[in-house]
Amino acid sequence: MSEKKNNKNALSNSTSPYLLQHANNPVHWYPWSKEALNKAKKEDKPILVSIGYSACHWCHVMERESFENEDIAAIMNEHLICIKVDREERPDVDQVYMDAVHAMGLQGGWPLNVFLLPDQRPFYGGTYFPPQSWAQICNQIGKAFQRQRPALEQSAAGFMKNLSVGEAEKYGLKKTDSPFTQEKVKAFYKKFEEQFDLEKGGNARAPKFPMPVLYQFLMRAGRLFPKSGVLSHVERTLNHMAWGGIYDQIGGGFTRYSTDMDWFVPHFEKMLYDNGQLISLYSQAYQVMKKPLYQSVVMQTINWLEREMTSKEGGFYAALDADSEGEEGKYYLWTEAEIDHLLGPDAELIKAYYHIGQGNWEPGRNIPFREGETKDFAEQQGISLNEFEDALAAAHLRLLAAREEKIAPGKDDKILASWNGIMLQGLCDAYATFGNSRHLDMALRNGYFLKEHMIDDKGRLLRNFKNGKATISGYLEDYAWVIKGFTGLYQITFNEYWLEEAHHLLQVALEEFYDPDDGLFFFTSKGAEALILRKKELFDNVIPSSNSVMAGNLYDLGMYFENENYTETAVNMLKSMDRLLQMAPQDLAGWASFYADRTEPIAEIAMVTSNPTPFLTALHQHYYPNKILLGKTPGQTTQLNLLKARDQLSDKATFYVCFDKTCQLPVHTIEEVHGHLKM
């Protein structure tokens, strides 16, 4: 009896909210650990690795249906050593076994359930299973392990042979000497165009994910080819996303994806990494299109971040669940009667704006969404834009207050280094574009949090912060995004402390993750726990791949520190991806952005002024992504050679613009800087 209780409680000391959700299951769960792996070998039993995350709706469903079922749990406990993994804490484990499921010819996703031999080699797997099927599979695997083990061994050997092929061999990666050309950029976006939804934006399929990395590339392509129509598709997509149910119209922030083609019905979980990238995307899109809608989205989403997702230390939480009170989306849905009661005389106006009636989703329940520009709606209603916006702001306050009285969705309150780096970059982009000092304060507070709490005394990044303690050695994605975030902080503060911190982390990453054999980076460090495989992340998905982000970091820091080894390494990484990029640019949009930037010289923009803020905002009123920014006050000492010989040439601010080690004459206005950039 005591053994059973101990097994049931094996997740109870975890920091992961997802693992803690399973701590009282009758399944004898273990976290991924030497204890569990050794137990499988000692007892000679197959391993179940069940992978998910706290905001995953179908993970919760499978738990309710199967893992809380005493009879099914008994079958699992009899035949298997059961290991629960939070994919956000252990993306290395998730990556290995997701690849295994793909090698089995199956569609991946979460929950991910993979069966292993005691030595961790996979032989069978899948995603969600209904309870009766799950019980049968666990029974069958237990019997097959006893009676047909050679067949399972043979299956595992076949999958391992497939999985053990390195990325360079698997994808035919080979460094080319082909020049980087804008004609290839055109070919890339032509491939993207094949999938465009020309009515509602995004790609012409459901479900629809925001995929900010795609639109970061398309904005670059649109700048290089202004007559291509690409920017029209970016605008169409960003408009419909911001108008749709995928965006929380009342409280701000985007949900993970829409289940339909219209961005209307959301999968209600909210992820930090989506919203950090979307803050960057909408800020930069504002630079191109000057749409008030985009500014509103950025401001409202950062308000949500501050209100619901920020820890007392200044870190940002990982996610909000889709479910509350056991129902997906319940927290975000409204009845017509609720709106009438809360808004009184303004109710009809707000209901018309957000299409709230007898039920636009389910009988009696509504997802707020809108169509078209706010100014057009106000005109149709016969009121001024200012009058309507005042009414809307007042309605949001009342509706938010009422919503906060409800039972909120579960919050995954772990703080991940990489996702915080993504949001830090988002805040930097928002501040650069709009000049809101509150955004700068949040960015600085987060930067100092990462430095003080998530970098150990040896200068190594840690992945996860929870309950006042950082744990788990950082992965490449942690280094990549924190380096990018710290570099972004330098570019809005010109405090060289942040650039030095980014540089230090880059040096650690080169030492711990870089593979000189193919010039790319492993996902795990050389000192990390050895899994059955050591993988490299190449493809850009909902989060750009850690290798494409690292290539950009190497190039930028190579420019700042005049380190040609860094810039050459970055360019060689891109050259090794060239063939694959031409074949499948849609899956490599982060690389495509880096490629587009390399088709022209990077701009080095240095400013010397006692007050950079207004000039920074003015500079970002135009979109020019292929640049590095430097700055100092008059007479300030600096460690950067690019600034050492430069100072204020009169009582006015002075700006220096250089391309490919060739400098233009110093100028004194942002308009002249824009002239040098040919905007």
Q: Tell me the pLDDT tens digit for each residue of 426-452.
A: 999 999 999 999 999 999 999 999 999
In the block, tokens 């629960």 appear at 84
- Yes or no: say if 19 and 471 are a contact pair by the CB < 8 Å rule: no
527 and 492 belong to one structural domain = yes
Evaluate whether 667 touches 673 at the Cβ level (below 8 Å).
Answer: yes
Cross-strand bridge partners of residue 81: 47
Report the distance separating Cα 454 and Cα 381, nearest Å. Answer: 52
194 shares a domain with 336 = no
Residue 643 parent element (H or E): helix 641-644
CA distance 93 to 90: 6
Contact 77, 138 (CB under 8 A): no
Cα separation of 416 and 414, whole Å? 6
Residues whose CB falls within 8 Å of the CB of residue 120, separated by 6 or more in sequence, listed in order: 37, 47, 531, 532
Angstrom CA distances, 178 to 174, 186, 239, 574, stand at 11, 16, 37, 11
Q: What is the mean pLDDT of residues 3-15?
A: 67
Cα distance between residue 220 and residue 50, in whole Å: 40
pLDDT band at 661 (very low <50, low <70, confident <90, very high): confident
Which helix (H) or strand (E) segment holds residue 115: the answer is: strand 112-116
- The pLDDT assigned to 9 comes to 56
Instruction: Identify the DSSP state of 126.
Output: E
In a shared domain, residues 591 and 627: no
* Type and span of the H or E element at 351: helix 347-354
Residue pair 559/501 in contact (Cβ under 8 Å)? The answer is no
Query: Are 625 and 220 spatial neighbours (Cβ–Cβ below 8 Å)?
Result: yes
pLDDT of residue 4: 38
Average pLDDT (346-375) is 95
Query: How do residues 528-585 score in pLDDT, each as one tens digit?
Result: 998 999 999 999 999 999 999 999 999 999 999 999 999 999 999 999 999 999 999 9
- CATH code of the domain containing 37: 3.40.30.10
Positive or negative CA dihedral for 320, 326, 327, 331? Answer: negative
- Least Cα distance to 595 among 37, 180, 301 occurs for 180
Query: 486 in helix, strand or coil?
Result: helix
Q: How many domains in the chain?
A: 4
Task: Give a yes or no: residue 501 inside a domain.
Answer: yes
Instruction: Decide the pairing of beta strands 603-608 and 520-521.
Output: unpaired
Which runs of E-coded beta strand occur in 214-356? Answer: 257-258, 266-267, 270-271, 319-320, 323-324, 327-328
Residues 155 and 190 in one domain: no
pLDDT at 85 over 90: yes
DSSP E strand boundaries for 247-393: 257-258, 266-267, 270-271, 319-320, 323-324, 327-328
In this structure, are 339 and 319 located in the same domain?
no
Could you tell me if residue 588 is inside a domain?
yes
Which of 164, 198, 220 is at the close of a domain?
164
**325 burial level (CB within 10 Å; 0-12, 13-18, 19+):** exposed
580 and 609 fall within a common domain: no
pLDDT number for residue 93: 95
Lookup: tokens for 469? 């303690």
- How buried is residue 381: exposed, middle or buried, by Cβ count under 10 Å (0-12/13-18/19+)? middle
Instruction: Indicate whether 285 and 421 sit together in one domain.
Output: yes
Contacts of range 646-651, beta carbons closer than 8 Å, 24 or more positions apart: 646/606, 646/608, 647/608, 648/608, 648/609
With beta carbons less than 8 A apart as the criterion, state whether 524 and 92 touch. yes
Q: What is the CATH number of the domain that holds 230?
A: 1.50.10.10
pLDDT confidence bin for 163, thresholds 50/70/90: confident
Instruction: Tell me, yes or no, whether 378 and 438 share the same domain.
Output: no
- Domain membership of residue 574 (yes or no) is yes
Residue 505: pLDDT above 80? yes
How large a percentage of the chain has pLDDT more than 70? 99
Residues 535, 538, 544, 547: what is their CA dihedral angle, to the nearest 10 degrees? 80
- Domain match, 392 and 513 both: no
**Is there a contact between 116 and 122 (Cβ–Cβ < 8 Å)?**
yes
The residue that leads in pLDDT, 651 or 564, is 564
- End residue of a domain, out of 360, 376, 408: 408
Last residue of a domain, one of 546, 578, 597: 597
- Does 187 fall in a domain? yes
Read off the pLDDT of each residue in 117-124 and give the average, rounded to a whole number. Answer: 95
Same-domain check for residues 469 and 585: yes
Contact 254, 237 (CB under 8 A): no
Pair of tokens at residue 309? 């997702």
Per-residue pLDDT at 56 = 85
pLDDT at 255 over 70: yes
Residues 44-79: tens digit of each pLDDT: 999 999 999 988 888 989 999 999 999 999 999 999
Q: pLDDT tens digits, residue range 476-489?
A: 999 999 999 999 99
Cα distance between residue 171 and residue 271, in whole Å: 31
Domain membership flag for residue 174 = no
121-138 per-position pLDDT tens digit: 999 999 999 999 999 999
Q: Tell me how many helices (H) and strands (E) the chain has.
A: 29, 21
How high does pLDDT run on average in the chain? Answer: 94
Q: Which residues contact 651 (CB under 8 A, 6 or more apart)?
A: none
pLDDT attached to residue 2: 33
Mean pLDDT of 383-390: 95
Q: What is the DSSP letter of 629?
A: E
What is the pLDDT, as a whole number, of residue 8? Answer: 64
> Are 544 and 640 members of one domain?
no
Mind listing the pLDDT tens digit for each residue in 189-198?
Answer: 999 999 999 9
Q: Is the distance from CB of 423 to CB of 279 less than 8 angstroms?
A: yes
Structural domain containing residue 564: 182-329+412-597
170 inside domain: no
In a shared domain, residues 120 and 190: no
Residue 3 is predicted with a pLDDT of 38
- Confidence tier at 6 by pLDDT (50, 70, 90): very low
Please provide residue 526's backbone torsions phi and psi, each rounded to the nearest 5 degrees: -65, -20
Residue 507 has pLDDT above 60, yes or no: yes
pLDDT at 115: 96
Q: What residues contact residue 320 under an 8 Å CB cut-off, 6+ apart?
A: 55, 269, 270, 308, 309, 408, 409, 410, 411, 412
- Residue pair 67/60 in contact by the 8 Å Cβ criterion: no
Question: Is the pLDDT confidence value at 1 over 70?
Answer: no
Q: Is residue 176 part of a domain?
A: no
pTM of the model: 0.94
Q: Does 169 fall in a domain?
A: no
